[in-house]
Amino acid sequence: MKIIDASNQIVGRLSSTIAKSLMEGAEITVVNSKNAIVTGDPKMVTKKYKVKVERGDPHHGPFYPKTPEGILKRSVRGMIPYKKSKGREAMKRLMIYSGNPKELKGEGIVKGKKDVECNFITLGDLSKKLRGFE
């Protein structure tokens, strides 16, 4: 099992590496998804995601997640053939946590590097804005 720390990692790049590993048969656990970042102007990113959330009918969908772990999981799902059996099996091997659970502390966690020098918003802040807390 591979444990990945999503802190200060770009969501799209992180999702593509996770999707590739899942399709190769690896079991992946992602921790600290609320600290993953989406690059770009925070106002424009929030506006883009609000359009996705508000699209469609609230009773019949399409439904778009508002939590940090849901947004990251949906991003990974978009890079996997999730309607086929191999894609469904791959998604079952993925676990995403918003924080760092107690049972995973002290294990070998793969950390990314912080080298983003442009504007960004974290998934935790984006989630708060989507749910109307800010």
Residues 89-101: tens digit of each pLDDT = 999 999 999 988 8
* Average pLDDT score, the chain: 91
DSSP bridge partners of 31: 5
Q: Give pLDDT, residue 35.
A: 94
Percentage of residues in the chain having pLDDT higher than 70: 96
The continuous run of DSSP H or E covering 109 comes out as strand 109-110
- pLDDT computed for residue 1 by the predictor: 86
64: Cα separation from own chain's centroid: 12
Number of independent structural domains in the chain:
1
Q: How confident is the model at residue 133 (pLDDT cuts 50, 70, 90)?
A: confident
Residue 113 has pLDDT above 70, yes or no: no
Helix (H, G, I), strand (E, B) or coil at 39: strand
Give the model's pLDDT for residue 111: 74
CATH of the domain at 114: 3.90.1180.10
Which 3 state secondary structure label does DSSP give 9? Answer: coil
Domain of residue 51 covers 2-131
DSSP secondary structure, 11-33, as one string: HHHHHHHHHHHHHTT--EEEE-G
